């Protein structure tokens, strides 16, 4: 794709931003547009379209970042942003490196551009989800489904000569089903998403997502209150990977580490997990939700081994934190939009598949909990304390999955729980999520096969 601004203008904006000094300057331009619609009460509604164009200009001097953002990509807007940043920044002047032709990373394969598909076709897709879920059982009381597509075209230029573009297309479908029986009300939720075109949701994929959401809700109608107490926990594949995302991924983000606000600070090279545990952050996984060609600072994305043979092998860096540690960026400088400063963020983070089968992991548990999927989670990277809401969970008794449980939460401490992972299965799957940090929401992929943690606290209502 062609850059959103010409090299000549980008050069002038960078010069302007550095006119009173600074170590580094960058201009990030973005054109984003999207379409969203939903079905609720079997009626297609909340159809909305949006488009925004703008730029963020940043100057870094020492440890300080000066940032300004404007709507619009005209020369006057860009110069206004550069002037606002220059007014705040002071320091020795730096010469900027000349910009060559913009680099364009290999783009993800988009078979069917979503914008080319008539919107009515997307409404039909939601109607199909609604019908599929409703026909899954008489106890299905409500179905909500939503479809969203988004396009982000970005251009980054910086004073070190980086000039790169990226074109990102994402599609995501979410289905929520509520089932009722007498007084019991349960919900099931399933998503499907990727850095992909409309092909992702066709050929029955949308219907299968709806069917699975319905099945979860119907299964949970038979649930008992979740147990409370410490016990072995088997975590499901796919979205179960959000556990690793929260309890390890965040703590490996270099901003937390450099501030001493991470339990993984000072632990580079240390054994934190069983010697067969391998984990990665991979911004290049084809078609995945957290995949981009470049990060939002223009660095090509890469596959980074964060844990190798149970030892920490890398933190996740953006340019500013990499410079501080004297290393290269790992391509993890991401931002929600041109209105945000880039910070170290995960892309697709996962535990690599192991040898066991999920059934083997479960069969070795006398009494425990099987957390198939989560509604979400949260971690305090400083203390390592985390909490997860279980959206689908079961009791494990005598090596067998038995009763479904409602209202379970998993709580624990990152380092303890990571050290207690005593089995990883070979079934591997990636799922989509949105990760919030510093007020910025970015798409991330989470994944793993089934994982067993020797002991974890399950918080339920059955005391």
Partner 1 sequence: MSDELEAIAQRAVEAALAAGAGDAEAYVQDSVGREIRIFDGEVESLTEAGERGLGVRCWIDHRAGYAYGTELSEEGLGGIARDAVETARIADADEFAAAPSADGAVAPPEIPGLHDPTLAQWTTERKIELAKGIERAAREADERVVGVETAVYADEEQRVAIASSTGLAGAFEATTAYAYLQAIAEAGGDKQTGLGFGMGRSPEGLDEEEIGREAAERAASLLGARKPGSRTCPVVLDPIVAASFVGFIGGTLCADAVQRGRSPFAGRLGDFVASAALTITDHATDPAGLNSSPFDAEGAPRGQTPLIEAGKLAAYLHDSYTARRQQAAGAPGTRTTANASRAGYRSPPSVSTSNLVVAPGAKGFEELLAEAEDGVYVTDVAGLHSGVNPVSGTFSVGATGRLIDAGQLAAPADEFTIASDLQSMLKAITAAASESRWVPFGGSVNAPALLIGEMAVGGS
List phi, psi (to 5°) of 77: -65, -45
Cα–Cα distance for residue pair 300/393, rounded to 1 Å: 39
Cα–Cα distance for residue pair 59/233, rounded to 1 Å: 47
Cβ atoms of 119 and 3 within 8 Å: the answer is no
Instruction: Give me the count of residues in the chain.
Output: 463
Cβ atoms of 14 and 27 within 8 Å: the answer is yes
Q: How far is the CB of 17 from partner 1 (least distance, A)?
A: 12
Q: How far is the CB of 67 from partner 1 (least distance, A)?
A: 5
Three-class DSSP category at 108: coil
Judged by CB, which is closer to partner 1: 350, or 388?
A: 388
Judged by CB, which is closer to partner 1: 69, or 215?
A: 69
Q: How far is the CB of 348 from partner 1 (least distance, A)?
A: 21
Burial 103-133, CB ≥16 within 10 A → b, else e: bebeebebebebeebebeebbebbebbbebb
Judged by CB, which is closer to partner 1: 106, or 118?
A: 118
Give the tokens for residue 300: 């090509």
The radius of gyration computed from the CA coordinates of the chain, to the nearest angstrom, equals: 23
Cα–Cα distance for residue pair 141/73, rounded to 1 Å: 48
Cβ atoms of 458 and 414 within 8 Å: the answer is no
Judged by CB, which is closer to partner 1: 370, or 388?
A: 388
Q: How far is the CB of 66 from partner 1 (least distance, A)?
A: 5
Q: How far is the CB of 141 from partner 1 (least distance, A)?
A: 7
State the number of CA atoms in the 13 A half-sphere of 96 facing the CB.
28
Judged by CB, which is closer to partner 1: 64, or 104?
A: 64
Q: How far is the CB of 339 from partner 1 (least distance, A)?
A: 7
Q: How far is the CB of 461 from partner 1 (least distance, A)?
A: 4
Q: How far is the CB of 26 from partner 1 (least distance, A)?
A: 13
Helix crossing, 119-134 with 205-220: angle to 10°? 30
Judged by CB, which is closer to partner 1: 23, or 186?
A: 186
Judged by CB, which is closer to partner 1: 61, or 284?
A: 61
Q: How far is the CB of 261 from partner 1 (least distance, A)?
A: 4
Cβ atoms of 241 and 352 within 8 Å: the answer is no
Cβ atoms of 351 and 241 within 8 Å: the answer is yes
Judged by CB, which is closer to partner 1: 24, or 386?
A: 386
Judged by CB, which is closer to partner 1: 7, or 88?
A: 88
Give the tokens for residue 418: 């990571």
DSSP 3: -
Cα–Cα distance for residue pair 363/369, rounded to 1 Å: 12
**How many distinct helices (H) and strands (E) make up the chain?**
10, 22
């Amino acid at each position: 794709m062609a850059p959103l601004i010409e090299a000549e203008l980008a050069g002038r904006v960078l010069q302007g931003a550095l006119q009173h000094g600074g170590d580094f300057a960058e201009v990030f331009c973005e054109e984003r547009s999207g379409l969203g619609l939903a079905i609720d009460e079997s009626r297609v509604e909340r159809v909305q379209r949006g488009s925004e164009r703008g730029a963020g200009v940043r100057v870094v001097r020492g440890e300080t970042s000066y940032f300004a953002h404007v709507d619009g990509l005209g020369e006057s807007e860009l110069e206004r942003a550069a002037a606002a940043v220059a007014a705040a920044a002071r320091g020795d002047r730096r010469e900027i490196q000349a910009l060559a032709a913009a680099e364009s990373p290999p783009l993800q394969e988009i078979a069917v551009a979503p914008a080319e598909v008539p919107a009515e076709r997307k409404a039909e897709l939601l109607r199909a989800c609604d019908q599929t879920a409703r026909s899954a059982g008489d106890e299905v009381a409500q179905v909500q489904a939503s479809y969203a597509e988004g396009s982000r075209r970005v251009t980054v230029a910086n004073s070190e000569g980086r000039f790169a573009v990226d074109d990102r297309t994402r599609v995501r479908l979410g289905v929520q089903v509520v089932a009722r029986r007498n007084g019991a009300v349960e919900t099931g939720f399933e998503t499907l998403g990727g850095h992909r075109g409309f092909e992702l949701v066709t050929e029955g994929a949308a219907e299968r997502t709806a069917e699975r959401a319905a099945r979860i809700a119907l299964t949970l109608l038979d649930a008992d209150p979740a147990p409370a107490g410490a016990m072995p926990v088997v975590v499901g594949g796919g979205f179960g990977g959000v556990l690793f995302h929260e309890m390890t991924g965040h703590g490996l983000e270099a901003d937390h580490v450099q501030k001493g606000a991470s339990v993984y600070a000072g632990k580079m090279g240390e054994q934190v997990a069983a010697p067969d545990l391998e984990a990665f952050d991979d911004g290049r996984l084809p078609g995945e939700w957290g995949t981009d060609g470049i990060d939002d600072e223009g660095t090509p994305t890469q596959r980074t081994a964060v844990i190798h043979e149970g030892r920490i092998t890398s933190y996740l860096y953006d340019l500013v934190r990499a410079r501080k540690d004297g290393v290269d960026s790992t391509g993890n400088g991401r931002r929600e939009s041109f209105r945000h400063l880039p910070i170290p963020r995960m892309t697709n983070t996962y535990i690599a598949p192991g040898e066991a089968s999920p059934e083997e992991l479960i069969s070795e548990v006398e009494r425990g909990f099987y957390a198939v999927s989560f509604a979400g989670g949260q971690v305090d990277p400083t203390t390592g304390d985390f909490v997860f809401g279980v959206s689908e969970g079961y009791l494990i008794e005598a090596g067998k999955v038995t009763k479904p449980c409602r209202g379970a939460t998993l709580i624990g401490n990152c380092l303890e729980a990571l050290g207690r992972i005593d089995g990883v299965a070979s079934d591997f799957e990636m799922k989509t999520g949105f990760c919030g940090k510093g007020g910025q929401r970015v798409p991330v992929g989470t994944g793993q096969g089934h994982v067993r943690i020797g002991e974890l606290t399950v918080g339920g209502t059955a005391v």
